[in-house]
Structure 1
Amino acid sequence: MEKSSVQSNAEYCGGRRTLLFILIVYTLLLGMFMSKYLYHQEGRMKPHNMSTYVHMQNIRNIMRLQTEKFQNKKAEYGGKPDMKNNSTNIINDNVTNNNTSFPKLSKTTKRLEVDLMQKSSIENISSKVIQTKKSPTRKTPTKKTPTKMSPTKKPPPPVTPAPRPHVLFRYKSMRTGKSFESHCKKCAIVSSSGQLLGKNLGSEIDSYPCVLRMNTAPVRGFEKEVGHKTTVRVSCFISTKGLMSTSSLFAGTGKPEKVLIWGLHHRKNAWAMRNAKALNAKYKDVEFFAQEESGETYAGEIFKQETGQDRAKTNTWLSTGWFTMMVALDMCDEIHVYGMIPEDFCAKNPGSRVKYHYYQWKANPAECNYYKSQEGSSKGSHRLMTEKAIFERWGRRYNMTFHNPSWDLTPQKTERKIETPFMKKYAKTR
């Protein structure tokens, strides 16, 4: 009886030693396995932030400390530790010291422990990652309200491009009968308007290679405003009387090189032809040219082409400015016009009292008053506003620049329909 109890005690102690040895070996293997598993798991799982990475490192440290503590406990108990709660306490102590929430391990199979460890670490990691991510906000689709398209105005028809008029050959020398020939890269056309007064543009005008002036507009006494250089002076048949009486126009620095006169070949203008011949004989250092009658006809055709109106049927007198502009278009590559007002200047400046001519001594006629009286008249008159509207087209078409005042030469302005008082009055005849 005594012998059997000793034997049973020995077997019980031997069983406990065996179980302890198995648990120690199992724990070491589990620690090694978990270290390698987490190492590889760390390589496969790419943490989204630094806190996740640190958490994974803490799990590895826990497993390493667990192994060391098991070995220390083994040495302390002489190979006979209390196996009931020892392994659980060791792990719980380690987890508590590292301030990490970790589930308690029970004495189950290796499979269960690995599952618990894996589940805990993954849940911890995923919870922290999820907290850092912002939940995407769903955008509510906004209904696009159809915008009402405002009716767009049709652009005005473009101006039909036309070649420059050729008129120089229609002016014949009153001495030799040869055609007038001249060419300039840059020209300045100086109008006779009072717009030039007080602007001190004389030196600027004289800087051009060629300067064109009109009728009997003087330069003496007005050099600061209009300059003195005169390459060509274009005159109408009526102004031959003024040219005869104003000898200062053919003396000094303002003396013209050439004088072109139009309107001399009508029978009723024989008196003007006599004046022109007298001027040609008197001023031998100035060459005088008379325009052929076909030149006036051609000028009327250009007017009809631009307006649709017949010059003769509408009692229209073309101005010297019209003939000067045609001469410049044939003579000059680049044209600069000084002192000529645009078609709508008087409408925009109803109170303007600028003189019609800069050299007139009296205040009247005022420029705008004269323009208005001529434009709508049923008698023979100049259509100065209509001419300026045509010049706007030519300005864009033929490389022209207008100074003092400047002109708007945008397509909206130059390619629009001409609506001057003259055009409105004779629109039915088109």
Structure 2
Amino acid sequence: MALGRTAALILIFALVTFLIILSSNNSEEPFNFRDLKIKYHNPPNIRRWGLQDGFISVAGNKTLHPKCNSCVIVTSSSHLLNTGLGPKIDQAECTIRMNDAPTTGYEKDVGNKTTFRVVAHSSVYRVLRRPQEFLSRVPGQTLIFWGPPSKMQQTSKANLYHIIQRASSAFPSVSAFIVSPRNMGRFDELFRAETGRDREKSHSWLSTGWFTMVIAVELCNKVHVYGMVPPDYCSSKRQKKMPYHYYEPKSPDECMTYIQNERGRHGNHHRFITEKLVFARWSSVYNITFSHPEWFSDPEIVSL
């Protein structure tokens, strides 16, 4: 009996090991973005959305107003390392950053100026645990938090709203907003209209990049994005692996992360490459440009 149990455990271990190796190998294979079946159905004009009911002020009766003609989005990508873009980024009218991407120690490449920071519910604690970096260091900035209404509202058991509210009270020079439940529904509907996929049925989580891009279009007349790779970037084998985050040198390889998420069918995954295909279409509609790396106009990508 014991021998049979041991044999069964060995078999299970071997099977799990095989699946891990298979998954790793598949992630390193070229990903053909043309295999993605994307069908957009009369997507709404984001600039016609009203900001008044889209964002809830955490402290006081503040309203989020579009106040920038030109914005830059500084991604968290390691492609920004050794670019020396810091001074140029700091000269921008408005600068948008994401989650817990720091500037301290990386000013040469990513700058220091922060006008807006878009933060996912999963990154709230990482941001608030470092107030010297993300709250007191850049007075006058606006933090925009997004997440499922079940986690972000005043009545939620997760209590994230009250945690954000206390932090906002402690740092009155920082404005804090939460994406409203109605607006969360709009983000989901926009994804469906742009891709033909229901987010929940396709087991997808929208990324912070998706929320940041939409919010940037709402707030800014023109947007320049630093560090975001184009949708076809992982379609050929890359000789050089790139960490997913510039501030985490040991973070997973960028393309491996994108491909694993795009191919994932069980559990919930970000559809990074699908989102980038949408951003490519938006570039001409909403005056969005990309660099480091630069995105070249590809009619085949835009027409997908």
- The verdict on a shared fold, with TM-score over 0.5 as the criterion, is yes
1:399 to 282, 287, 293: 287
Give the CA deviation at 1:249: 1.6
* SS of residue in 2 equivalent to 1:233: strand
1:163 has 2:45 as partner: yes
Aligned partner of 1:250 in structure 2 is 135
- Could you tell me whether the CA contact under 8 Å between 1:172 and 1:291 is conserved in 2? yes
Aligned partner of 1:212 in structure 2 is 96
1:237 has 2:121 as partner: yes
Q: In structure 2, what residue type is equivalent to 1:246?
A: R
Give the CA deviation at 1:161: 7.8
Q: In structure 2, what residue type is equivalent to 1:366?
A: D
1:367 has 2:249 as partner: no
- Could you tell me whether the CA contact under 8 Å between 2:205 and 2:270 is conserved in 1? yes
Q: In structure 2, what residue type is equivalent to 1:271?
A: N
Give the CA deviation at 1:184: 1.0
- Could you tell me whether the CA contact under 8 Å between 1:264 and 1:273 is conserved in 2? no
Give the number of the structure whose alpha-carbon radius of gyration is greater. Answer: 1
Aligned partner of 1:296 in structure 2 is 184
Aligned partner of 1:324 in structure 2 is 212
Aligned positions, number: 258
Q: In structure 1, what residue type is equivalent to 2:135?
A: F
Q: In structure 2, what residue type is equivalent to 1:168?
A: L
Q: In structure 2, what residue type is equivalent to 1:393?
A: R
- Could you tell me whether the CA contact under 8 Å between 2:40 and 2:196 is conserved in 1? no
Q: In structure 2, what residue type is equivalent to 1:350?
A: R
1:355-381 deviation per Cα after TM superposition (whole angstroms, max 9, x unaligned): 10100142x311111111111111101
2:60 to 166, 176, 180: 176
Unpaired runs of at least 5, structure 2? 1-38
Q: In structure 2, what residue type is equivalent to 1:243?
A: V
1:382 has 2:270 as partner: yes
1:344 to 232, 237, 240: 232
Aligned partner of 1:270 in structure 2 is 158
- Could you tell me whether the CA contact under 8 Å between 1:167 and 1:295 is conserved in 2? no
What pairs up with 1:46-61 in 2 under 5 angstroms? none
What pairs up with 1:29-108 in 2 under 5 angstroms? none
1:247-287 deviation per Cα after TM superposition (whole angstroms, max 9, x unaligned): 222233x4561001011631566232232122212211101
Give the CA deviation at 1:332: 0.7
Aligned partner of 1:355 in structure 2 is 243
Q: What is the distance in 2 between the residues matched to 1:175 and 1:306?
A: 34
Kindly indicate which of the two structures has a greater share of residues assigned to strand.
Answer: 2
Q: What is the distance in 1 between the residues matched to 2:46 and 2:180?
A: 19
1:191 has 2:78 as partner: no
1:409 to 282, 285, 297: 297
1:306 to 173, 194, 216: 194
Q: What is the distance in 2 between the residues matched to 1:161 and 1:398?
A: 13
Q: In structure 1, what residue type is equivalent to 2:280?
A: E
- Could you tell me whether the CA contact under 8 Å between 1:197 and 1:358 is conserved in 2? yes
Q: What is the distance in 2 between the residues matched to 1:281 and 1:361?
A: 34
Q: What is the distance in 2 between the residues matched to 1:314 and 1:412?
A: 24
